Structure 1
Amino acid sequence: MVCKILFLFLSAFVISHAQTSAGPTQKEPDAVFLKIKQDLDRALKTDDHLSAADAYQQIGDLFFYQTAYSQALDHFFKADKYYRKENARLKVALNLNKIGLTYYRGRQYNAATDIFTQSLAIFKALNNRRGLAQTYGLIGQTHEKTNAYKKALHYQQLAVTYYKKSDDKSGLAKIYENIGSLHEDKLQLDSALTYFNRSLTLNQADENRLPQIEVYNNIGDVYRKSGNYLESLKYTRQAAGLAVELGDQYQLGSAYRDLSKAFNLLGRNDSAYHYSEAGRNIFLKIYTEDNEKQLALLQTLFELEQKDNAISRFESEKSLNRLIAFGAALIAVLITLLGLSIISRQRLKIRNEHKLHEQNRSTLKGELELKSKELTTHTLHIIRKNELLEELKTKLNAIVKDDKRDQRKELKQLVSLININHNQDKSWEDFRAVFEKVHEHFFESVRKHAAQVSAADLRLLALLKMNLSSADIATMLGISPDSLRISRYRLRKKLGLPEGESLTTFVQKL
């Protein structure tokens, strides 16, 4: 049984470079999917975990062959879950290789290597030679894709060892072909030809005709790269003939492409063009058919999911309706009682909130009135102080004009001191602190209209906001009425006020 599983896996899935002939799975993937889906549903209903895992794996294979790698991984991982639940270690390892190969095809080489390493550990624990050979070969292929040729060759040689121990000539032929490709990549063409011939000999002995197509093509590539174009044509034509006989369109397209290269190197451009076009048409046809099959499969999957979702919704709705019918009366009573309770509490809450709001409003109004009185008092104090200082300065200037030499120097110093302290910043800062409590955000609103206003402009705007007379403002700022008019004119320009619009009206709106 173990050998049979391994043989089926290897024959259906391991060939990673060659495109196998289209079987029923690839010709009608949507029809095959429907059959497997029925088996899966039956297995899930009866809790047959192994059968369910097999079905998930088969669906994964379908998506893999249609290059729908994301969906393939999803189903392979579902299979992994059930295989592990049943402790089916061999099937876990084989399925892990499918997952790794899917990552490999998706060019996620690090992820592929991690998965292959997990599989390798299981095969070692089971002492399964054929599984080890297969996994070593897959790891070698993955390292080749990352140009780690030394590692790739090491793992391929390990695969050779275990395929020989298993007496698996088909697997050994594939590994020889892989090693030949490694040497070809490094342009070690004699070594490459040696391993390709070994692979061909084994496939011919076992009458494995399909793998021979790719080997013939590889040998033709080596001869072409060696400059032996006639010998290259000989082997590539053999590949093309066998591909036609076996109906392998992918390998036929590859052979035509290689024939085109050889004829081009021989200077036979008509033949080169002919085979180039023939190969291009084949690949275009393959691409179109693959897309159609993939779309058909995805459409089938979409329709099944819609159907399953509709059934699930219907079952859920039936259960929900029964629950609703059972609890409707009780819920109605509870809603009524809760409604009455909520309404009563809401009314009480609204009354309390209204009362609290009125209290807060009254408190805020009182605080605002108090701050306004404080601002007015503070302003009047500054005005009176500045008036007194102005009067004192006038009298002192008159004394200075009397030209009494013994007092003149001291009086000049006194006048300078008064001028320096006439508009000291502390008075303005005290004023501003009280002003901002009464007129919140006033200065922010000003800067929205004109970001470049100066500190002196802000002082003038604040005094205008308080509706002070021009004489009081001039006294507060310690400037003459003419200077105040000039300051107001410059402020209008900064604020961008049109001619005719009142500066005072504009300030009161802020």
Structure 2
Amino acid sequence: MKKFFGFGYVMALALVLIHSVGFAQQTNHTVSNIRRPDSTFYALQKRLEESKEQPRFPIKIAEAHLQLGEYYHSFGLYTEAMAEYNKALEELGTGFSDELFIVLNNNIGKVYLSLNNFELAEQHFEETRKSSIQLKNDKGLAISLGLLGASHEKQGEYEEALKDQEESLSLFEKLGNEHGVAITNENIGSIYEDLEKFDLAHKFFMRAYEYLKGSGKAEEINVLNNLGDAFRKTGDYPSALEKTSMALEAAKQLNDLHQLESAHKDLSKTYALMGDYEKAHAHLLQAEEFNSAMLRSQNTDQLNVLQTIYETNKKEVEIQLLKEQNKVSVANQNLLWVALFAIVAILTIGYNYLGRKRKATLKIQEYKQRMLKAELEKKAIEEKNLQDEIQLKTASLSRYSLHLSQKNKILLDLANTLRNIAARKNMDASRKIKELVKEIDFNLQQEQEWDEFMVFFKEIHPEFIKKLSSLSENSLSPAELRLGMLLRLNLSSKEIASILRVTPDSVRVARHRLRKKLPIDQKEELVNFMIDL
């Protein structure tokens, strides 16, 4: 649970915003953990092709699709990951494997959980839970319960989340699975932290840390950060600094950008609460740098993977075309021999037979040519669809560019105003800061950002606003249209509230009013209705 940290922390944050534009141009920290996907992708692709050469072993093919899906999932390419998981399930239809089915079903649920589609995610986790009970697979049952608990926690259903996680913990302890015990203890601690029961949260985080201590993995770093949060929120700042600093050093060893950002951000909060705003400011600067580096890394990785997929598919199409052309060449050679034989036969049989044979030969050639032309057109369409898919993925990145553009404009105005305040020694700083806050609020309420957002939204979903407006008997207000567009992007109520600068309760009321104006079935989700438009 995030909280407000007072005037000192706000001042530190303001200093970060002043320097963030220039700081992004510095190169004090070299980002070296950007993954190169080519070799891994080609290895997985080769394994899939080799497994397909042995159709008698469908489970091997399913495992190859599963690994390729997990590879896509690690880069946030959920559409591609889902396609590979479904292909794996199709292969399991001819060679069933209980354990592999449980893993696949959980992975599909994880994709939906990443997309905040909790209903579909829980359907898959629940199906896996029931299957694990029937198959007496305690490990599969423990994992499914943990995932169900994670889904409930994300939705704020803490009582159900605790119940699922405690059952999962009991099973992992029974199995002697130390990694599962550690992760589940951390999950329970996170729930108690959300409930602001920090003593219980600290208890479970320490249990998790006892298992993960010295592992040098990201899980250990995450637990140390959680321990630091628990100490900070109970006012034990020295202990908070100790645990978070340990997390920072471990993150440096792994060069984990996410954990580095998290550790610097937590250190900034702790120093701000201790009144050391200079150190708070310095750590916030570094957190901002690692966050930007992480976003750049993620975007670069996704584009590299998509480009690799496109180039691989393009090569496969070219190879297939060459094969088809070779087949046509062989067919033409065969036809030539047949024609020569036919000529000899025609000379002996007579003129009439020669005429009929020529007609038959021409019909065969025309049929082959039509088949070849249809196949070439099909391959060309597939290549175009692949290019369109890459363009769509690239267009989705434009939303980040829009956000960055808006932020930089506000930061520039803020920097100029603060420079003026700093230059005038006898000025009433308190009054000027209040005026600056009003100016920031005013800038955040401007419609220009929404105009730019509308341009990008209409490029990706050109017919959405028109369709939405036509479905309502009463005209929809601009605010309702904005809510509809944000729901179409599958954002949660909390995220929408942050964007519109209102409370989550106001968002829920607005959603209810919008739903009443639209022809939606009572059982249908408003988000699913918007996505289907």
Match in the other structure for 2:232 = 224
- How many residues are paired up? 312
Provide the residue aligned with 1:282 in structure 2: 290
Tell me what 1:488 maps to: none
Q: Decide whether aligned partners of structure 1 residues 286 and 333 sit closer, same or farther in structure 2, where only a CA change above 3 A counts.
A: closer
- 2: CA distance, partners of 1:256 / 1:333: 75
Residue 188 of structure 1: which of 197, 204, 208 is its match?
197
Which of the pair has more CA radius of gyration?
1
Structure 2 residue aligned with 1:237, among 234, 245, 259? 245
Query: Partner of 2:35 in structure 1?
Result: 27
1:174 counterpart SS class: helix
RMSD over equivalenced CA pairs, Å: 2.7
Q: 1:311 Cα shift? A: 2.6
Among residues 211, 217, 220, which one is paired with 1:212 in the alignment? 220
Alpha-carbon distance, 1:316 to partner? 4.1
**Equivalent residue number for residue 46 of structure 1:** 54
Match of 1:153 in 2: 162
Please give the alpha-carbon distance, in whole angstroms, between the structure 2 residues aligned to 1:44 and 1:207.
38
**Among 48, 73, 89, which residue is 1:80 paired with?**
89
Shift of 1:157: 0.8
Contact 2:33–2:255 (8 Å) recurs in 1: no
How far off its partner does 1:332 sit?
5.4
From 101, 115, 119, the counterpart of 1:106? 115
Corresponding residue of 1:36: 44
* Distance (Å, rounded) in 1 between the aligned partners of 2:229 and 2:219: 16
Taking a change above 3 Å as real, the CA distance of residues 302 and 209 of structure 1, as seen in their structure-2 partners, is closer
1:227 aligned counterpart, secondary structure: coil
Equivalent residue letter for 1:274: A
State whether structure 2 residue 176 is matched by structure 1 residue 167.
Answer: yes
Contact 1:180 1:191 in 2 (8 A): yes
Q: CA–CA distance in 1 between the matches of 2:191 and 2:283?
A: 27
| Structure 2 equivalent of residue 71 of structure 1 | 80
How far apart, CA to CA, are the structure 2 residues paired with 1:230 and 1:168?
33
Give the 3 Å change call, closer, same or farther, for CA 231–57 of structure 1 in structure 2: same
Counterpart contact for 2:257–2:293, Cα < 8 Å: no
Corresponding residue to 2:280 among 268, 272, 277: 272
Task: Return structure 1 stretches of 4+ with deviation > 3 angstroms.
Answer: 206-210, 313-328, 331-334
Do 2:268 and 2:280's aligned partners in 1 also have CA atoms closer than 8 Å? yes
Return the TM-score normalized by structure 2: 0.55
Tell me the distance in 2 between the aligned counterparts of 1:175 and 1:268: 35
Q: 2:34 and 2:79 mapped to 1: Cα distance?
A: 18
Q: Contact conserved, 2:172 with 2:181, CA < 8 A, in 1?
A: yes
Q: How much does 1:159 deviate?
A: 0.1
Q: Secondary structure at the match of 1:85?
A: coil
Q: Distance in 2 between matches of 1:198 and 1:41?
A: 44
Is 1:178 paired with 2:187?
yes
Spell out, residue by residue over 1:227-263, the C-alpha distance to the aligned partner (whole angstroms, 9 max, x if none).
3333221211121122223333321221001011111
Distance of 1:187 and 1:289 partners within structure 2: 34
Work out the CA distance in 1 between the residues paired with 2:241 and 2:363.
Answer: 91
| C-alpha separation in 2, matches of 1:106 and 1:119 | 19
Residue 257 of structure 1 corresponds to 265
Q: Which runs of 5+ in 1 are unaligned?
A: 1-23, 335-510
Distance 2:94 2:285 in 1: 53
SS in 2 for 1:151: helix
Amino acid corresponding to residue 124 of structure 2 in structure 1: I
The percent of aligned pairs where both chains have the same amino acid is: 27
TM-score for the superposition, normalised by structure 1: 0.57
Letter in 2 for 1:273: H
Structure 1 letter corresponding to 2:128: S
- CA displacement at 1:300 relative to structure 2: 1.0
Picking from 210, 231, 242, the partner of 1:201 is 210
Distance (whole Å) between structure 1 residues aligned to residue 308 and residue 74 of structure 2: 16
Quote the Cα distance in structure 2 between the aligned partners of 1:26 and 1:124: 41
Corresponding residue of 1:120: 129
Partner Cα distance (2:106, 2:61) in 1: 19
Matches of 2:90 and 2:264 in 1, distance apart?
44
